[in-house]
Chain A
Amino acid sequence: MARESFDKEIQFLRLLALTGGAYSRQQFAARLGISVHTYDKTLRYLKEMMNAGQHGLTKEQGAELAEGLRYNHYESADPLLLFLYRAKSLKETESIRLALIMSALRERELAAKELMDFLCDELPADLPAPDEKTIRGDLKYLEEVGVIRRADDKRPFRYRARTELVDRLTDDELIDLYDFVDVLANTQVPSVQGYLLRDTLKKALKARGLHSEVTETHVYKYHFHSRILDEAHLFTIYKAIESRRRLKFLYLSPKKGTRYNSKNTNPLFERQTEGLYEIILPLKVIYDHQYGRWYLVGHNARQGLMKFRMEGLTELEATEEVSQEEFAMRLDSAEEKLKISWVIDTSRPFKVVVRFFNPEGTRNNFVKDRVLSQGQWGTVTDETDETFLYEITVNGLTEIKPWLRSFGSSCEVLEPAWLRKEFIQEWKELYAYYEPVREDL
């Protein structure tokens, strides 16, 4: 898939997943900065892909694509957004040929010439027989991605499919492996490789005649599915960090209306390029569990430490290399600055003191449990039978505020005084949002 097309599809899927049916075709296309024609074409392609991989998708999921991607977690833990990674375009002849080669090599070891004979017999009559060069190219590719291996070093080389992970396990062991992959892919980041493996293992269980219920025992609650899309950039960023290369990209701030910027050379697209080209030295990636969102942290000579939402990154490209010393210095400095960031804020640190109230009428202190579990490096001290204090020094206050506010009346901000004032003001406004309710009671 061309990069242009990939940027479009990722934004397309995100908009579908997040806005779930909010927009008409025209509105949707306008927000992506594409034509309605392109919208229709992309949707058609996604549907085609979904139909091809439909096993495991419920009928509802298939039908609802255009209305947005919806999840009912009791029906299926299959991540629909994974199909972004299945979208790389490929000629039909190539897909037929590669699949045939892999199937043959699962049965027995074969050399290139033998494979050619095999393909001549097996390929549909209307397709031209491939030449030896093509076959050698295929074998080289398949070996590179690790789906086949050479049997030994003797010439001519003979190859074999690397399906031992499935073939050497008993049914019972395969079920354990499927579960393990399912659990780790669903609960850890990064997860895309795990999800891809999960798909394959699921098919292997099915091929062994195990009932479909076997793969439907686990469900995951409060899952941020769109995180899977942003993992798309992870590999490029990792490569750049590993080789200490700067990254160039076009950043589309998610706060602006348009998500995807078309190249104005393409007559299908209507918009001119907006957004800013940035060049930074990438240092770390931050995953925020509160929203299921990713950030890129990097350094640029003009502005110092910078952070970008992954979803705004397009046209990523690695550029020149920096010295080991420079990279180490920038990384150390970034890590130091991020040490006491609730998420990514690196502004001035504040000491925050909060009084929490234990729940009344129950010995089950779910307030304290949650503070201990989510309060990061903050400390907890018992104050009275009814209350305890939570103290933390944190960079800036904007990021910790939502978390504190989520506790509602179980929490009272003591310090800093102006945060306390802000909370009072906000709660007054929230009170005003709902005050009319009282009259209805």
Chain B
Amino acid sequence: MNPFEKIFNYQIISRLEETGSYALTSQERSWLKAMLEREAAEPAFEKSTREKLREMLHEEEDYRLQEIIIERGRSEVRQIYHPLLRQLRRSIADGKGIRMSIALKHGGVRSRQSGIPFKLEYSMVKREWYLLWYETRRRALMSTRLRNIISLEEWEPSRQRTAEAKAWLARALAQRVRSAEVEVVKGYNAELSRILSAFSCFDKSVSFDEDSGIYRIRIQYLGDESEFLLSRIRFLGLRVRIVEGEYMKRRMLESATKTLRRYGELEESAPVASADEADKRLSAQEAEGSTSSSPADGGGVH
């Protein structure tokens, strides 16, 4: 089970590709065998395929590496696999359109929602699947939890229409990219590794000024991810300070103000920076994941 076998060497792999062959090792098959025993394998295959795979793998050694691992700080796993993944991934790859009925958070159903599917996205934080899609009528980028999809059927858009929708979605996503810069507060440079790890789940770049010894981390994120980024920044506490990104700075000040009031440490009369507006945005953004579907860009980008 040593992942450093020479068989994995990149030269062998690229030569095999030229000759159209593959190196499938026992350790990969053992891993697969163990994964097929999990619940997630049920919705992932037709029954006949699952049986065929199990039969091919039954002689493999048991994969026991996970026995020594304890996992901590994980969100409760809602789902690893969703039964609709198979159908939706095919609709995406074949450039099909979809028509859905979607359950709303507080009861009720929004039916006959028509659009073009784009990506299936798994959130490691919420531990569940979302569909990113283009809503044809409103021309909006939508993010919908798979578990809220009640019914799903396909329709046949023209190739051109699919291509246009996908190009539009890619642009819409690009337009939603925001950036913020945080500085590692100098007394905490010794904890750099921890701090950088905490941001390593974002698209980021780091700069270092040798003279001042100051590290800055520039983070690119999508507009609707700002609350998650803020929670990471609060997570790190005094170790980092936002130096660029007015909205983020205002939200941090607001967090601090409201928290100190909770503890009775700040007078009620002290103004909270655009709290009402920020509150609304907060609910809208945090709710983004939990309402059945909503324009993921807040309706702002067209």
Contacts and interface: CB of A to CB of B under 8 A. Distances in A.
Contacts of B105: 363-364
B6 interface: yes
Interface stretch (A206-214, A272-280, A317-325): A206-214
8 contacts: A103-B16, A166-B24, A194-B28, A223-B124, A292-B197, A364-B290, A403-B73, A430-B238
A187 B212 CA distance: 39
A130 interface: no
Interface string A176-190: 110111011011111
Nearest to B280: A361
A356 to B, nearest CB: 11
Given A20-B205, A409-B259, A434-B252, A221 B124 contact: yes
A364 B263 contact: no
B228 to A, nearest CB: 7
B139 interface: no
Contact of A221 (B7, B125, B215, B242): B125
B260 to A, nearest CB: 5
B119 A74 contact: yes
B258 A287 contact: no
A70 B23 CA distance: 29
Interface in B4-55: 4-32, 35, 38, 40-41, 44-46, 49, 52-53
A438 B253 contact: yes
B121 A53 contact: no
Contact of B49 (A169, A420, A427): A169
Nearest to B220: A72
Contact of B236 (A68, A179, A402): A402
B69 A287 contact: yes
A234 B67 CA distance: 11
B231 interface: yes
A429 B240 CA distance: 12
A7 interface: no
Contact of B72 (A177, A232, A287, A424): A287
A116 B132 CA distance: 54
B49 A231 contact: no
Given A145-B26, A222-B228, A284-B68, 19 more contacts: A17-B200, A49-B10, A103-B16, A103-B19, A146-B26, A147-B25, A161-B22, A181-B32, A190-B65, A193-B28, A199-B13, A200-B22, A226-B197, A361-B280, A373-B75, A407-B234, A412-B262, A431-B266, A434-B241
Interface size class of B (residues with CB under 8 A): 35 or more
A437 B255 CA distance: 13
A203 B10 contact: no
A428 B25 contact: no
Contact of B29 (A165, A207, A401): A165
A99 B38 CA distance: 34
A407 B286 CA distance: 12
Contact of A219 (B9, B119, B230): B119
Interface in B200-231: 200-208, 210, 215, 228, 230-231
B205 A429 contact: no
A351 interface: no
A86 B52 contact: no
A197 B13 CA distance: 12
B3 interface: yes
A90 B197 contact: no
Nearest to B166: A213
Interface of B is mostly: helix
Nearest to A173: B49
Contacts of B235: 290, 402-403, 405-406
A433 B21 CA distance: 59
A342 B73 contact: yes
Contacts of A197: 24, 28, 31-32
A409 B255 contact: yes
A226 B200 contact: yes
A34 interface: no
Contact of B15 (A85, A95, A181, A366): A95
A401 B289 CA distance: 25
Nearest to B5: A145
B249 interface: yes
B250 A437 contact: yes
Nearest to A14: B193
B69 A285 contact: yes
A119 interface: no
Interface in A334-381: 338, 341-344, 357, 359-364, 366, 369, 372-374, 376
Contacts of A284: 68-70
A357 B279 CA distance: 14
Contacts of B92: 213, 217
Given A20-B206, A22-B215, A430-B237, A53 B10 contact: yes
Interface stretch (A35-43, A235-243, A260-268): A235-243
A31 to B, nearest CB: 10
Nearest to A53: B10
A21 B23 CA distance: 35
A73 interface: yes
B102 to A, nearest CB: 16
B3 A405 contact: no
A80 to B, nearest CB: 13
